[in-house]
Structure 1
Amino acid sequence: MNQDRKGEGSHIRKFSDTYKWAYIDFLAILIGVAGGAGAIVFRNVIEFIHGIFFSGIYQQGAGPSYSVILFPIIGGLIVGPIIYILAPEAKGHGVPQIIESLQISGGQIRKRVGFLLILSSAVIIGSGGSAGREGPIAQIGASFGSLIGQLFRLGSKDLKLLTVCGVAAGIAGTFNAPMGGAIFSMEVVARRFSPYDSVPILMSAVVGTAVAGTLISPTPAFVNPEFAFSTSDLALCFVLGPIFGILAFSWVRIFYFIEDFFEALKIPKMLKPALGGVVAGISGYYLFGYGIMGVGYDGITRIFDMPSFPGTTEMIMLLVALGLLKILATSFTVGSGGSGGIFAPSLYIGFMFGVAFGLVAGRILPGLDTASPTVYGLLGMAALFAGAARAPLTCIVMIPEMASSYSRLPPIIIACVLSYTVAQILMKGASIYSIKLMKKGIFIDQPEPVLKGITIGEAMHRDVVAVDPETTLTQLRERISRLNHTGFPVVKDRKLVGIVTFDDLRKVPIVDQDRTLVVDVAVKDVITVRPDQSAKYAMDLMYQNEIGRLPVVSEDEPLKLIGIITRTDVIRAYEIIEQR
């Protein structure tokens, strides 16, 4: 009978290995549908909220009313409590949080994050805060992918893959760019390319684009019919690339300088997004219609629609001012704790500086037959984000997709590669996404340790022996001797209140231990972990803090003890990996 059962298990395992690719691809299609639909829902919610704020703002015979200044501030006041009370993961520009979930939590994202992201990001963007859609929709798509992976009880490796599939579907559906969305998810989020991963990721991206295109008419984000590039323009790309690498470095430095300023600011965290909306409100009022508020595509379209581009000093100064103000508005909106992406603002900034570069080149070299300044705007878009995000391949593919023309590839390749190279030298291999993680001690470009493939929930002990805080140290000594444990969580009313070890016990003389309680010696500031985090993360915490065990608490109830993990458990986790 045992042999029959063993043979049956082997058959099931063989069947699973043979058809696993089809199973994962099927789930990738589901995620593509959810991601594409989520992108459209998110866009519609933004438009709805934007209508609430901005309908009827024009004064009769004049421009917008002064109330425009207050809109991003009001949006920040609404979003602050949502983020800091219900979903801290919704704070910031989204992509670093996804990468962190892949690195630390095995791709597990809390189920409520997707809904709260739609709400908080839509309010920030719809009220005029300067931010993009790609960060939130990437997180929303990742939440769908993670949810489906958890529902089907997939292992850590496949759960991560489906989370990345969700990113691809959301980005592709948002920008009508299936190849760009797939490459973004692999180059920026997963940080790797592999044949096994690429098929389901591409499938999610294509399905996400198709679903979004079915719900709304797919149109290019940018249309520039006057695209013509000469040999002289290709030569200028070798100048534009390094300049935009420096600009990318400056953009990243300014962004994190302002974010650090808000982190250090001694005011309630829930009020910070409102304060961050001040810059977008003021600059958006005085330059209303130029794209400082919101995503910024209306400002790009306005420049595209200009019948001519006078190469005057005033025009060049206006473009530079728009780029600089967008940097400040986005840094304050997102860096203060608001929810929104930095991809669209980066495109706006790159476009304005790129058009200015084209005008300056035309003035300095009047004898050359150079392309339209808006062509240099498209190159600036690609070059700036390629340098800031370490994403040259994404920009080389996505910008032509968004503009519905691949004839731009040669100059975009030159500009992106050179900008990427210069920015990487200046930023020492970091990016606008990875710097946030590096501050937390997460280094995404290091070789992945084996233990990152297993979660704490798989390695921990669920049958926890805890002690009451009113236990005497004499009783604790007897329990240590009887159970051969050197430490215990301290629990009262089913809540974790501390941890006590043999080292705490021996600090008290034996004669005093009968009248000394555990609560008197236990460590109250307990370092805890969650079951969705990686075993590698637990081992790092134990090593850094010189401790031998960590209480494992519930994801939704931080004081509810559900297990404990020790160094021995982490070492034993290697056996679990080998069994896979």
Structure 2
Amino acid sequence: MALAVVVGAGAGAGSVVFRWCITTFTRLLSGHADYAASAGASNGHVPWLGPYFLLLAPVIGGLLYGPLVHRFAKEARGHGVPEVMLAVAQRGGRISPKVAVVKTLASALTIGSGGSVGREGPIVQIGSALGSTLGRVAKVGEGRMRLLVACGAAGGIAATFNAPLAGVFFAMELILGTFSAEAFGATVLASVTASVIGRAAFGNAAFLRLPAFRVEHLAQYGLVALLGVVAAAVGVGFSRFLYLVEDACDWLWRGPEWLRPAVGGLVLGLVLLVLPEMYGVGYPVLQEATAGGYAVGFVLLLLGGKMLATSLTIGIGGSGGVFAPSLFIGAMLGSAYGIAVHRLLPGAAGPVGAYALVGMGAVFAGAARAPITAVVILFELTGEYSIILPLMLAIVLATASSRLLTRDTIYTLKLRRRGIDLEGPALGARIGAQQVSTVMEVLPSPLPAATGLTDAADLLSLSGHGALPVLDEAGDYVGVVTAQAVAEALAEQPEGAPRFVGQLAEPPASVTADQPLAQALHALLSTGGTGMPVLEPAHGRPVGWLSHQSALRALHTPAQRRRSLPRRPNA
């Protein structure tokens, strides 16, 4: 817990430095603290260029951060969160300490020179690198190392967005991928510590100010639900378009990687010249859209422009997050949707700003599939509680619709394109790639569902497994009964306790014979007893038994056994 506080303080301080760097580079390269608030204006440092300085700013930024990333930390390229997820899932939470420094400078230069990306991905990677470095200094185990990395991510989000709860849930939902009392306590400490530092530096003002919103007509719930489904498609489309543009940049570029951001910056500069509102993160433009300050046609132009500008920034080798762009895209979608329904149903639609807020959360949920984080962060960023019910409805529908459309999120898709499955084995690992069918044992004799508890207790004691599969009268698989469940039921009799094992059988997480062992291990660790049935993929019938011992035996591969044999002396 003490280490979590230290990590939170480091992430909070890192957030202050990072935002100062963004402001400094933006002033140097655009002449404004936030150029999106004065889109189309000239640069005070070179007023004779007029708006055409936008062609040069991304090139200058690329010439600075391109060699920096290529020479010192190539993992600092891109949006950062997938690298942290990979480090936690397969590398024991180990992140190089130099990532924090390189990511700070590279991302600040990218945003300051016009890159249309967010600052949450960089600060997550910066805070996580700080947590990993402290873990190595303190010589903690891998479990605590992963937790400290999550604490760094939580602190970074909390300090950057003034959203301590969102930082906690972002770390647990996306970085750790699990919830536990220890993880919650540690990330809360880190998040609160970072938030105190962030509020001391940036104040405590809400991120957006929206008009009061009340659901006065039931039709509004239907409109919001439809927006959630549409937002899921837009979120998934943004993910695919992002990597499509990145593939195109990879295919077109044939020069040295350190020069790629500068040359690609010319193309980005053309986009900024046509649509200067895309310069940097774009929060002033987002605020104006939620206030209903733009016509529907221009809002849709901003939506498409943000997709293109963000994808180009990442594709040419820029460093920055995709969280803020997804909020921007969602706000434009929600604003356009709100304007349209307000014209169709002026008496029942409600204010446009409410739909913009719902669109923000729903598009992020559709892209990242982190519904709890989406709900909490939108509430904390706006301070608007009256819209929480429609917001939750849209986000849940967006998450469910996104899952139907694709198996990957905007974060995991980047890793899968590199051949990395977070639920599978690490590349080069000795265990996990083989199928369960190659390591499973013979299926122990199943128990009929009508077996009495006393007889079941005897059979379980003789089996040596601590658990046995249960079949009904038709021979269909019902579930697994454990020795513990039978013993507890016998202790409760005769006061209405179950009499047959079929009443105690519970199906564990499904493991099939064609599944990679690495995926099956997650289910195996959560089961009672010493193993679980392996099911036939087609019909779900048990065909084998996976135990902890059989999984461990998979480590001793035939090649290793050959190496362990004594060598025959030379003749």
Counterpart AA for 1:432 = I
Structure 2 CA distance, aligned partners of 1:28 and 1:59?
43
Amino acid at match of 2:256: P
Q: Residues 63, 369 of structure 1: CA spacing in aligned structure 2 closer, same or farther, 3 A cutoff?
A: farther
Matched residues in 2 for 1:101 and 1:385: separation?
23
Q: What does residue range 81-480 of structure 1 map to in structure 2 within 5 Å?
A: 81-231=67-217, 232-265=219-252, 266-288=254-276, 290=277, 292-305=278-291, 315-366=295-346, 368-427=347-406, 429-445=407-423
1:406 to partner: Cα distance? 2.3
Structure 1 position 278, deviation (Å): 3.7
CA displacement at 1:303 relative to structure 2:
2.7
Deviation at 1:442, TM superposition (A): 2.3
Deviation at 1:385, TM superposition (A): 0.5
- Which residue in 1 is equivalent to 2:504? none
Q: Distance in 2 between matches of 1:110 and 1:447?
A: 21
Gaps of 5+ in 1: 1-24, 310-314, 454-535, 537-565, 573-580
Partner of 2:28: 52
How much does 1:446 deviate? Answer: 5.3
Give the paired residue count: 427
Match of 2:490 in 1: none
> CA distance change for structure 1 residues 247 and 59 in 2, over 3 Å: closer, same or farther?
closer
| Structure 2 counterpart of 1:207, one-letter code | T
**Equivalent residue letter for 1:241:** G
2-structure distance, mates of 1:452, 1:381 = 43
**Aligned-pair distance for 1:279?**
4.6
1:230/1:370 contact within 8 Å kept: no
Residues 59 and 135 of structure 1, relative CA distance in 2, 3 Å threshold: closer
Deviations 1:201-251 (A, max 9, x none): 111111111111112212111111333333322220111111111111111
SS state at 2:27 partner: helix
Alignment of structure 1 residues 67-78 onto 2, 5 Å: 67-78=53-64
Checking the alignment, whether the CA contact within 8 Å between 2:233 and 2:402 is kept in structure 1 is yes
Deviates more, 1:188-197 or 1:346-355: 188-197
Code of the residue aligned with 2:409 in structure 1: it is S
In 2, distance between residues paired with 1:75 and 1:152?
A: 37
1:5-20 map, 5 Å:
none
Q: What is the CA RMSD across the aligned residues, in angstroms?
A: 2.7
- Counterpart Cα distance in 1 of 2:300 and 2:141: 49
Contact 2:155-2:191 at 8 Å conserved across structures: yes
CA 1:117–1:360 in 2, change beyond 3 Å: closer, same or farther?
same
Shift of 1:267: 2.5
In 1, distance between residues paired with 2:191 and 2:60? 35
CA gap 1:298/1:248 in 2 versus in 1, 3 angstroms? same
Q: Distance in 2 between matches of 1:301 and 1:64?
A: 26
Query: Distance between the aligned counterparts of 2:331 and 2:221, measured in 1?
Result: 18
Separation of aligned partners in 1, 2:174 and 2:249: 26
Q: Is this contact kept in 2: 1:103–1:452, CA < 8 A? A: no
| Distance (Å, rounded) in 1 between the aligned partners of 2:152 and 2:43 | 43
Partner Cα distance (2:208, 2:43) in 1: 31
Match of 1:458 in 2: none
Q: 1:201 to 1:431 in 2, by over 3 A?
A: same
For 2:494, the equivalent position in structure 1 comes to none
Unpaired runs of 5+ in structure 2?
A: 33-40, 432-517, 519-554, 562-571
Distance 1:440-1:74 versus aligned 2 partners, 3 A rule: same
8 Å Cα contact 2:232-2:399 kept in structure 1: yes
Cα separation, partners in 2 of 1:380 and 1:445, compared to 1, 3 Å: farther
What secondary structure is seen at the aligned counterpart in 2 of 1:327?
helix
Quote how far apart the aligned CAs of 1:273 are: 1.9
**Aligned residues of 2:214 and 2:386 also touching (Cα < 8 A):** no
1:16-53 superposed Cα distances (whole Å, 9 cap, x missing partner): xxxxxxxxx11000011111111111001100011101
**What CA distance in whole angstroms lies between the structure 2 residues aligned with 1:571 and 1:41?**
50
Partner of 2:532: none
Q: Aligned runs of 1:18-37 on 2, under 5 Å?
A: 25-37=1-13
How far apart, in 2, do the equivalents of 1:355 and 1:203 lie? 36
Q: How does 1:513-524 map to 2 (within 5 A)?
A: none
CA contact (8 A) 1:93 1:342 kept: yes
Secondary structure at 2:195 match in 1: helix
In 1, Cα distance between equivalents of 2:243 and 2:315:
7
